Amino acid sequence: MGSSISEELGEKILFASKIMVNILAESLIHARAQGLSAPQFRILDMIYHGTCKPADIARMLDVSPPAISWLLGKLEEGGYIERSLLKQDRRRIDLELTGVGKDVVKRVNSHRKKLLNGVLSGLDDETVTHLEVSLGAFADAYLAGKQERLKANA
């Protein structure tokens, strides 16, 4: 890929990521969760989808243990999560969403899907198909790179 194509594509992807952040912000407001930051919501979403160890979340977000501990403290204070020690291993902390936390994730993601479907409905079928294939390849490349970075840092 040539450098001018790469720069232009990079700008388009950056702009698309800004749109996605705007959609998240709109959805947080719509769900009356304005007190939550995007990183805090990302943590709630990760827990909702089964990531329950603080160390795993810190690795996935590439943040330090103190930073993740601070973020988790804020979420716990807000009533979104509960931290508990495992009986089998008292050194390990498990994270679980409260009812409020689950409700926020469901409402925000429902609104995000609604907004995204509105955008996609304005595209023709061929464009949607190309977008689906391209986003799949993009996600696969990101995840493969992320795995390599995690292995290198382990």
* pLDDT value of residue 1: 53
Its sign, for the CA torsion 138, 140, 146, 148, is: negative
Architecture category of domain 3-122 in CATH:
Orthogonal Bundle (1.10)
Length of the chain: 154
Entry pTM: 0.84
DSSP-derived secondary structure for 83-134: EEE-SS-TT-EEEEE-HHHHHHHHHHHHHHHHHHHHHHTTS-HHHHHHHHHH
CA pair distance 23, 27, nearest whole angstrom:
6
For the chain, give every domain's residue range: 3-122
pLDDT, tens only, 9-67: 889 999 999 999 999 999 999 999 878 999 999 999 999 999 889 988 998 888 998 99
Q: Is 147 helix (H, G, I), strand (E, B) or coil?
A: helix
